[in-house]
Chains A and B, each alone.
Chain A
């Protein structure tokens, strides 16, 4: 089909520019990795520490994914398909750890279960004056990243579970298949796409996490890159490690898009609800399990951050020192979210309204931020800016640019969803009434997709509020945000000073995360 110019030309020009700009840092990082001399690059790759680093990182990724599946799938099944008492409440509570950033999670685990933490305090009368250092290293990283990343898998599994037509299971049962056999032969295969998609998402987050591993001192790629960047005079080690990390994330993203291409579109919601499974004597063990999960994922952070936060507020010293970071966080997140959505619009409109090979290529290019861990984006931007535009180094515009590159894919997804919900007939009607494409965009399309854009911007805003590594590296000197305050104070052992901003951050994200992520995911259409 030869489409007749339905879009203004400048829109495509902007889209191409955005896609190109989003890839400059990655390209530069790769060039730099090789440019520092193949010798240095190869030296890093051959060093014995790389093997250990790879092993530690992959062990963590695999551990977190497996543990998340083991928690998320039973939890989703319990709240969706059984007569577990209070299952609606459990369904919500099990999703809520989404509001706790990984570094706050790790921090609260350290405070609660550290060698001389809260648990030890309770056990002191019994003669326990020191717990083993189990929260540091692999164990702590595994716990923190599992307990606070599993909700992604949980929500995807739950949504898929709700769309399995009960008729399938009933047919299997009537054909003589038992309850367990039906679960493994009918239900689990239907859940497989959701589980693999969620598992890959969790793997991606684990691989790019910096906050939690830095607090529990488990050196994965991200932490090693940060250490190399801060400590060594020669930054080519950081660049080379960054390249390796990009290869790892690309492998995961590649798997994910392969899976997505394999998966068939979701079936529509079934007409009726699946019959509930009676737990019988398993009722109490299941209830205890859910309660334990919620106690650790919600109870511990709330007690730690709340307790120390209140203590800090009563002491009165914190309030003052928290205002500036709060202001900074809010303003940089607002600017970042608005810029990201604004720059995401041209690409989204092009891809949705005039799909073609070119549009797809540009759309794919803008997704590189998704594959790049924050620390790599930050590092690459540091290199580019020092080389090409030294005067913007450690300025706010550069920080905002990093946010845009990192979160462009998230904003594009929101824009595309909003656009796809608007029939092109509206735009055609407007053009038939004598308006040019640009006017149609302004007067018809934009007003109609505004709610979707606002929701998308809200999500990006929250993500930026929580973002740590890029903020840490690219912020202007002395420009503290809530995230950097929490991380800095937690690393120094200042519990109260870390808890007040953490309390603010979590409190600020509860309602938006609930409204934008959890409620739509839990919405029961039946």
Chain B
């Protein structure tokens, strides 16, 4: 690939005004294709969709914004793309301020590529027409289209129309179209949500592969924590217009910062518990709590991951909390069983293999985690 700066200018040779304005505005542009958002706020009338968000996406990395619908992730994305005007804060793309006090660069001059859930391929143009739309009219146009189509592995589809492609192919072409315009950053808005579940995983891997090969900086917006975890280098969890936590998928899963984050990323079940010193009491009975200290006992929620639970056939002689299997769900590679504890709490246990305990079996459950994660109440 040629350097992004040179290509971007070539793509806009037909538009002298924007070249002039860009040169005047952005002396500080760096080679890094990164994103820096500071104190961003987006309002729709009286409602505030994004409340003072700071976000950094380093060059070449893929960041996922995940959160329930209405948490402000799409508004944040659209503000970066330039389709919503922020009411406060600044957005800097590749070293150039595109939104901030007194600055509002229109979307077409931001060097931001969008990939939408509904893919938005122009139905009146062929695949080549779509991919070439942002390329400009140079000699290298055809070569560039071929190069990008090769990157997404769909060179043979050059002359087809979008409605002749499958959903996954359409989404790859949409990505190719965004990449062909040499964006500083690619924004993906729920790009896999409208795909068949069976197809979703394959397309997700394909798209990630293309982003890696082209070294593209990208933001993915999704409500699906599994997509976010399997796709991104970094995951940012949002709720109610704010960022709750950011980190690698592993960090987030291992140590969610709050019960809310644990709920959003479905880290596991949250059981009410009481901590007294090094002893933790919950529906599963009494557990060791090595992180405990001798300070005041407190109530909280303990995070219980289904795969951290061990289940045993309970005998009359067993002491401590007991329960009974009430439901069994087969997933092929494993079995999830619902256990109703004596105090009425429902606990999910995941057992690998294909043999489980039949419904009605009296059981005992033990937590395998050496250091249970506890969120004090009101956290």
Contact = CB atoms under 8 A, between A and B. Distances in A.
Given A1-B45, A431-B108, A433-B178, A425 B118 contact: yes
Interface in B25-46: 43-45
Interface in B103-135: 104, 106-114, 116, 118, 120, 122-124, 133-134
A1 B84 contact: yes
A296 B120 CA distance: 51
Interface stretch (A2-10, A162-170, A309-317, A393-401): A2-10
A1 B116 contact: no
Contact of A434 (B84, B87, B116, B181): B181
B298 interface: no
Interface string B66-103: 00000000000000011111010000000000000000
A434 B108 contact: yes
Given A432-B112, A433-B181, A435-B133, A425 B120 contact: yes
A81 interface: no
Contact of B85 (A3, A431, A436): A3
A435 B134 contact: yes
Contacts of B134: 432-435
A77 to B, nearest CB: 39
B81 A432 contact: yes
A244 B226 CA distance: 68
A429 interface: yes
A292 to B, nearest CB: 48
Nearest to B187: A432
B155 interface: no
B12 interface: yes
B122 A426 contact: yes
B249 interface: no
A475 B15 CA distance: 47
Given A428-B120, A432-B178, A433-B178, A443 B133 contact: yes
Contacts of B114: 428-429, 432
B177 interface: yes
A349 to B, nearest CB: 17
A428 to B, nearest CB: 6
A6 B107 CA distance: 9
B256 interface: no
Contact of A433 (B44, B85, B177): B177
B112 to A, nearest CB: 6
Contacts of B122: 426, 429-430, 444, 447-448
In this complex, the member of B44, B104, B111, B134 whose beta carbon has the largest number of chain A beta carbons within 10 angstroms is: B134
B362 interface: no
Contacts of B45: 1
Interface string A36-67: 00000000000000000000000000000000
A365 B12 CA distance: 40
Contacts of A2: 84-85, 87
A448 B123 contact: yes
A432 B118 contact: no
Interface in B10-33: 11-12, 15
Contact of B113 (A4, A6, A433): A433
A435 B108 contact: yes
Nearest to A446: B124
Interface in A418-454: 423, 425-426, 428-436, 443-444, 447-448
Nearest to A431: B107
A2 B49 CA distance: 13
A4 B181 contact: no
B108 A436 contact: yes
Interface residues of A, number: 22
A4 B85 contact: yes
A425 B194 CA distance: 15
Contacts of B108: 431-436
Contact of B107 (A423, A425, A426, A432): A432
A2 B43 CA distance: 9
Interface in B191-207: none
B106 A426 contact: no
A447 B126 CA distance: 13
A434 B133 CA distance: 9
Given A3-B85, A448-B122, A434 B109 contact: yes
B26 to A, nearest CB: 15
A3 B45 CA distance: 12
Contacts of A1: 43-45, 84-85
Nearest to A439: B108
Nearest to B87: A2
Contacts of A428: 81, 83, 107, 114, 116, 120
A447 B104 CA distance: 29
Interface in B141-186: 174, 177-178, 181, 183
Nearest to B82: A4
Contacts of A429: 114, 116, 120, 122, 174, 177-178
B11 A434 contact: yes
Contacts of B43: 1
A455 to B, nearest CB: 17
Interface in B225-245: none
A187 B183 CA distance: 57
Given A4-B83, A425-B116, A448-B123, A430 B133 contact: yes
Contacts of A431: 82, 106-108
A155 to B, nearest CB: 30
A436 B14 CA distance: 12
In this complex, the member of A3, A425, A431 whose beta carbon has the largest number of chain B beta carbons within 10 angstroms is: A431
B11 to A, nearest CB: 6
Contact of B120 (A5, A6, A423, A436): A423
A421 B123 CA distance: 13
Interface string B306-344: 000000000000000000000000000000000000000
B110 to A, nearest CB: 8
Nearest to B132: A433
In this complex, the member of A3, A425, A430, A433 whose beta carbon has the largest number of chain B beta carbons within 10 angstroms is: A433
B379 to A, nearest CB: 34
Nearest to A440: B108
B282 to A, nearest CB: 46
Nearest to B79: A4
A3 to B, nearest CB: 7
Nearest to A425: B120
Interface in A5-51: 5-6
B296 to A, nearest CB: 49
B97 to A, nearest CB: 15
Given A1-B44, A1-B45, A4-B104, A433 B118 contact: no
Contacts of B85: 1-4
Nearest to A6: B83
B82 to A, nearest CB: 6
Contacts of B111: 434
Contacts of A447: 122, 124
The 4 closest A-B pairs by CB, nearest first: A433-B134, A447-B124, A2-B85, A425-B120
12 contacts: A1-B85, A3-B85, A428-B83, A429-B178, A431-B108, A433-B113, A434-B11, A434-B136, A435-B134, A436-B106, A443-B133, A444-B124
Interface of B: 11-12, 15, 43-45, 81-85, 87, 104, 106-114, 116, 118, 120, 122-124, 133-134, 136, 174, 177-178, 181, 183, 187
Given A6-B83, A433-B178, A434-B12, 18 more contacts: A4-B104, A423-B118, A425-B118, A426-B120, A428-B114, A429-B116, A429-B120, A431-B106, A431-B107, A431-B108, A432-B112, A432-B113, A432-B187, A434-B11, A435-B108, A436-B15, A443-B133, A444-B124
